[in-house]
Structure 1
Amino acid sequence: MKVRLTSLLLTIISLTAQGQQAPSPEERAKRLFDLSDRNRDDKLTREELPERLRPNFDRVDANKDGFISRAEHLAVMSRQTPSRPSPENARRPLLEGIEAKLDLPYADTENPRQRLDLYLPKLRKTDKPLPVVVFIHGGGWRNGDKATGANNVGRYVTSGEYAGVSIGYRLTGEARWPAQIHDCKAAIRWIKAHAQEYNLNPEKIGVWGSSAGGHLVSMLGTSGDVKELEGTLGKHLDQNSKVACVANYYGPENFLTMIRQPSQIDRTKGAEYPEALLLGGAVPEREETAREASPVTHVSAGDAPFFTAHGTEDPLVPFAQGEEVHEALKKAGVPSILQQMTHGGHGFRSELLDQRLKQFFDKYLRGIESEIDSSPITVETRQKK
């Protein structure tokens, strides 16, 4: 099975390298089904699935007939494997001056979600180990792709002063909490374990994420000393998952308070909203899990410095979430900046914000001391779904 899956991946890579269009997500899903269907009866038994996926069998077997049909397989794969930007569009800004090492497995599994992309400058401005900016994508923990992080870290890598990484992680269509933070921590440990190989500074790793990604980077920043959330993925358990600084863009910080705050999402009924899908049930019914999954729960002295950017008119994750983590960090004595984006919704653009974020990373990853202005920035909202 491993040989056949590797052959499929090599074929996809070869087609892309030759300028041909790589298989679509639907085509990849069909091929994966065919590879797993060993007896060619057009249905999958529990035994035909890779061992790591067998716990999901009953969920995928929608009609409970003891088999996974091709339709059931494709239905689940379409929810958890969104379309990936074409290689031309996803990588275009990075073609000049960047060496990209894509889809590196960090958890010692064959799961395509447990991969990271590493970006290195072709022309470094120093021979010393480079600090690393790590991006974690959003998407409500149920959508998104690490390919979208390429442009975000690219601006740092092209400077020759940083290396960049974009992390993929398991989505809620495949796994519930704490799988997502286990994946992210395993990726950080992988980076540290391979720091010497790529001439990176393992003590200068900054993490940056938006929305669900903002939540996960906030968890990395506050739970570096929480053994229970470390997980056991990968070969590098001798490494820790602590990070040097956190850039949190409009991430949820306290699930227990967020359900009581105004939002376009009705979190008082049912269990189909993003946080409920993450936690395995409605927040009031999963209170202990919700508390464990909330970054504010783990705030303590010695946590990584934070830069939180949040829109005052965010209709999905209320601005109060950014205020709450900022106040908790200040109370614990942790350096924290709350960048208010006046009129900003769930997503925004601002060159001034980009400049302040660069200043933040330079300060905590490159040791360039400066006073970072945190006065409000007025923006036009740009809704992210």
Structure 2
Amino acid sequence: MTPFPLLIAMLAASIAPCSQKVEGHPHYVIPGALRDVTYHGQLALDAYVPAGEPRPAAIIIHGSQGNKSTHVTQLFEVLDRAGFAWFSIDYRSGDDVAEAIRYVRCPGRFNITPETVLIGEDTGAGIALSLAARGGVRGVVTFGAMLSDVVPSPRKENAGLNGTTAEVLMFHGTSDEESPPAAAEALCNRLPHCTFYPVTGAIHNLENWHPDQWDWKEDLTAWLRGDRRGLWKDIAYNRPAGRELLMDAYIPENIGPLPVVIIIHGGGWEAGNKVTYVSPVFGPLAEAGFAWFSIDYRLTPYVHIPEQLDDVRAAIRYVRAHAARFHIDPHRIALLGESASGQLVAQVASEPCTGCEVQAVVSFYGVYDFTKGTQSSDWQKAAVRRLFGDSSQETLRRYSPLFVARPEQPPVLLIQGTKDELYSGSMEYARKLKEVGAPFKLIVLEGAPHGMENWEGHTEWEFYKHRLVEWLRATLKANNSSE
């Protein structure tokens, strides 16, 4: 029988390697990350493991060039957005990588879950695939896989633990001359659970891919998240002229396909972002079972209103194109805007749009007539020129919802406070919708000023949230493609 003190000593020895303090240096790329954490002998890794709920882990294996801090740095922020901790490692062989994985997964050392994904770039891809064949990992992601004889035969007999084979996602440039994509695609086709993602026009190295080739970031994030619901931050829905336009999404736990509200913030066409001005509707929509997407768009004076409308349409197309990813019904989409964006959503509703059709529009205290701007002060005339680049009556009428309303447009909900200087314009627009026979409903908040943020804390105006949800449910139910 083992003496009790000796038993305690043995247990302490078995626990000590995992409970020892992790030491490193501040990272130069990601705040809160550590660099040069020694994991075996003289070998080190960089680690990002934020506090809070434990995260799944991604092991990053660089290729034949550079080290743990080069060539793969674009992955760091993407993995954080996907809710993963990450570990980028230096190594000499596949055995070193296996040792790094054991170090990372040692219980209690890092704030991570057992779920592990291996990400390999260039020759690191082959190492990732070889290690995955041993089992114990959820999946493998490769970039520009440089394959060699060390990659195991990708047949089902190489399945990992419990008779399963890891899922594989392979990103590969179609113009990769160092590792032609045909070989990687052929390997992927033979793997039991592999998706091959050709990146059009991209060359070998991930870090050299152009902004118009960066859709891989959203596809990788979605693959990593799986069916996880809740808040999804900073989804790039478009990249005009190389600039990322982001949206936040909230996907409820409800069984889909879910109805959708795409939210566009106001701010005079020149201010705000996806969390500004419109936050009061986030909670009511989520709690009512709507998926919502709140978007950034380009602002004046850097662009004009026509380009802003292009951004709104791009957001609609993106959400529709990824309906399965977001568990939404592409035939039950509402647009919601307020103030300046009230004009944007009303304008989109008034114009037929292939691929960006919506079934409902909500406009809070919008601007519906620009033609009066040239009849006002010099300041207002200058403002109109800022919005359009010119102030011709033809242009102003073209982008004034008051003059382009049509009976076939989607149903519109107007919400307006009586103490808002835009009150009379909303009433005029309501009369126009009635005149042309366009479906609409008007909700008036007696005594309410401009801005839903300013309605918070006033119980006499809170009813608009219930009425908004009620109207959306009724209007989008009529377009329920699943019924």
TM-score (norm 2): 0.49
Over the matched positions of the two proteins, sequence identity in percent amounts to 28
Greater relative contact order (Cα 8 A, min sep 6): structure 1 or 2? 1
Aligned twin of 1:300 = 406
Q: For 2:355, what is the secondary structure of its paired residue?
A: coil
1:358, 1:15 → 2: CA distance?
A: 30
Q: Which structure has greater strand proportion? A: 2
1:5, 1:295 → 2: CA distance?
A: 49
Asked if the contact 1:135–1:153 (Cα under 8 Å) also holds between the matched residues in 2, the reply is no
Instruction: Report the alpha carbon displacement of residue 258 of structure 1 after superposing the two structures with TM.
Output: 5.6
Aligned twin of 2:377 = 268
Gaps of 5+ in 2: 1-69, 86-209, 213-227, 456-460
Asked if the contact 1:137–1:144 (Cα under 8 Å) also holds between the matched residues in 2, the reply is yes
Instruction: Report the alpha carbon displacement of residue 344 of structure 1 after superposing the two structures with TM.
Output: 2.5
Describe the shift of the 1:11–1:107 C-alpha distance in structure 2 as closer, same or farther (beyond 3 A).
Answer: closer
* Structure 1 counterpart of 2:330, from 199, 202, 211: 202
Asked if the contact 1:150–1:166 (Cα under 8 Å) also holds between the matched residues in 2, the reply is no
Gaps of 5+ in 1: 20-49, 53-96, 231-238, 261-266, 369-385
1:124-154 Cα shifts (integer Å, max 9, x gaps): 1xx3410101110010010001123455233
- The answer to whether structure 1 residue 141 and structure 2 residue 269 are counterparts is yes
Aligned twin of 2:144 = none
- The answer to whether structure 1 residue 190 and structure 2 residue 190 are counterparts is no
Describe the shift of the 1:158–1:191 C-alpha distance in structure 2 as closer, same or farther (beyond 3 A).
Answer: same
Written as runs of structure 1 = structure 2, the 5 A alignment for 1:275-290 is 275-281=384-390, 285-290=391-396
Describe the shift of the 1:240–1:12 C-alpha distance in structure 2 as closer, same or farther (beyond 3 A).
Answer: closer
* Structure 1 counterpart of 2:361, from 230, 243, 246: 246
In structure 1, give the amino acid aligned to 2:377: T
1:190-224 Cα shifts (integer Å, max 9, x gaps): 1111112222111111111110121111112212x
Describe the shift of the 1:12–1:205 C-alpha distance in structure 2 as closer, same or farther (beyond 3 A).
Answer: closer
1:201, 1:306 → 2: CA distance?
A: 19
Rg (Cα) greater in structure: 2
- The answer to whether structure 1 residue 100 and structure 2 residue 215 are counterparts is no
Q: For 1:353, what is the secondary structure of its paired residue?
A: helix
Describe the shift of the 1:18–1:130 C-alpha distance in structure 2 as closer, same or farther (beyond 3 A).
Answer: closer
Describe the shift of the 1:367–1:111 C-alpha distance in structure 2 as closer, same or farther (beyond 3 A).
Answer: same
- The answer to whether structure 1 residue 177 and structure 2 residue 327 are counterparts is no
* Structure 2 counterpart of 1:356, from 467, 474, 479: 467
Aligned twin of 2:243 = 111
Aligned twin of 2:431 = 327
Instruction: Report the alpha carbon displacement of residue 157 of structure 1 after superposing the two structures with TM.
Output: 1.8
Instruction: Report the alpha carbon displacement of residue 268 of structure 1 after superposing the two structures with TM.
Output: 2.1
Describe the shift of the 1:9–1:346 C-alpha distance in structure 2 as closer, same or farther (beyond 3 A).
Answer: farther
1:344, 1:6 → 2: CA distance?
A: 52
Describe the shift of the 1:259–1:314 C-alpha distance in structure 2 as closer, same or farther (beyond 3 A).
Answer: farther
Describe the shift of the 1:144–1:13 C-alpha distance in structure 2 as closer, same or farther (beyond 3 A).
Answer: farther
In structure 2, give the amino acid aligned to 1:105: A
Describe the shift of the 1:168–1:5 C-alpha distance in structure 2 as closer, same or farther (beyond 3 A).
Answer: farther
TM-score (norm 1): 0.60
In structure 2, give the amino acid aligned to 1:132: V
Describe the shift of the 1:11–1:199 C-alpha distance in structure 2 as closer, same or farther (beyond 3 A).
Answer: closer
Deviates more, 1:323-332 or 1:165-174: 323-332
Instruction: Report the alpha carbon displacement of residue 274 of structure 1 after superposing the two structures with TM.
Output: 4.2
Instruction: Report the alpha carbon displacement of residue 118 of structure 1 after superposing the two structures with TM.
Output: 1.8
In structure 1, give the amino acid aligned to 2:318: W
Describe the shift of the 1:353–1:275 C-alpha distance in structure 2 as closer, same or farther (beyond 3 A).
Answer: farther
